[in-house]
A = this chain, B = another copy of it.
Amino acid sequence: MRIGVDAMGGDFGPVETVPGAVRACRELGLAITLFGDRELLDPELKKAGADGLDIAVVHAPEQVGADEGPVLVLRKKPDSSIVRGMRALKEGDVDAFISAGNTGVLVTGSILLVGMMPGLRRPGLVALLPTLKQRPLVLVDAGASVDPKPGQLAEYAVVGSIYAEEILKRTNPTVGLINIGAERGKGNELSRQAHQLLESAPVHFVGNIEAREMLSGDVDVVVADGFVGNVILKMAEGMGMGLFGLVAAEVRKSTWSRIGGLMLRSRLVGLKAMMDYSEYGGAPLFGPCQPVIKCHGASHQDAFRNGARLAAEFVRLDVVGRVQSRLQEVSGR
């Protein structure tokens, strides 16, 4: 098994991707192929002590800006790290690809380069959100498709449900549609139409769910359009971290609370880890026939290491294959 890493993606580029990949290789025994500008990668590999490790480099020097259109990138930047990586995935040179680069390029590349699994129009990003029940919920779409059709949300419900069953081992997982009210007719045009489709979709649909109920963990899968899903993901991230910062600041304000804080410390650190999305390493993109993991743009080396670990688990468990065959079963009904 070999994991492809987009070494140029993310806010910090090779400075974080390379040590992350080196750690995935050294600590987890994974074979890695880095895609990126060799001139920038080599010094980082040296610095990280990569000699003797199974790390290949595919030279891909073309740069992609954050605001470049996906279709243009695919057409005009064949030697960018993200396009080379996805081609290698298609050709079987790597078994999974992780990238903190442009989501739009990953989505369009999944459709045009890697190829989609039958039954899905466009890829959906699957993210796990921590809940008060100490078991995560599946959020889909967390940001791949920002102007979806209602039918796509029904497809995402199926993918999320299969994922919850196959990977998280939930029995008959419940699926909720994110909305701004519990009643059937609530919401915008998209959510009203999606609600109707979900009622006849082959999932255990429990109706609308409001954002404030998500944290309770009563629902296994939450379906959202990619724009709303991404807002939810980032808000959870910001509030999780922000509130713990706030508690920490309060703790520092007096001697008593400082002593109290010390006593609570180990417990709060555990909670913080549960809220720390970089622990998950990234969010899988469902749709492409091979595993693609989207890492957070602000990822540091820990997240890339964990992203490679997640990609390897996907290959080992054949997650994409299992979802694909369940999807065929479901659509064959």
A: residues with CB less than 8 A from B are 66-67, 69, 132, 143, 146-147, 178, 180-189, 191, 210-216, 226-228, 230-232, 234-243, 245-247, 250-251, 253-254, 256-257, 259-264, 267-268, 270-271, 275
Which single member of B184, B188, B211, B227 contacts A67 (CB below 8 Å)? Answer: B184
Say what secondary structure dominates the interface of chain A: helix
A261-B256 Cα distance, complex, nearest whole Å: 11
Q: CB distance A240 to B243 under 8 Å?
A: yes
Q: How many copies does the complex hold?
A: 2
The 7 closest A-B pairs by CB, nearest first: A260-B263, A212-B238, A211-B235, A215-B242, A146-B188, A260-B264, A250-B267
A211-B234 contact in complex given A187-B146, A188-B147, A245-B132, C-beta closer than 8 Å? yes
13 contacts between A and B (CB under 8 A): A67-B184, A143-B180, A180-B227, A210-B238, A211-B234, A212-B235, A232-B235, A239-B243, A243-B243, A253-B267, A257-B264, A257-B267, A260-B263
Of B227, B264, B268, the contact of A191 (CB 8 Å cutoff): B227
Q: Report if A146-B231 is in contact (Cβ < 8 Å); known contacts: A242-B216, A267-B253.
A: no
A199 → B minimal CB distance (Å): 15
Provide the residues of chain B in CB contact with A238, threshold 8 Å: 210-216
Residues A250 and B230 in contact, CB atoms below 8 Å apart: no
Looking at the assembled complex, report how far the CB atom of A210 sits from the nearest CB atom of chain B, in whole angstroms. 5
Contacts A180-B143, A180-B231, A239-B239 hold; do A132 and B187 have CB atoms under 8 A apart?
A: no
A181 (CB) vs chain B CBs: closest residue: B66
- Interchain CB contact under 8 A, A268 and B239: no
| Residues of B with C-beta under 8 A to A235 | 211-212, 214, 232, 235-236, 239
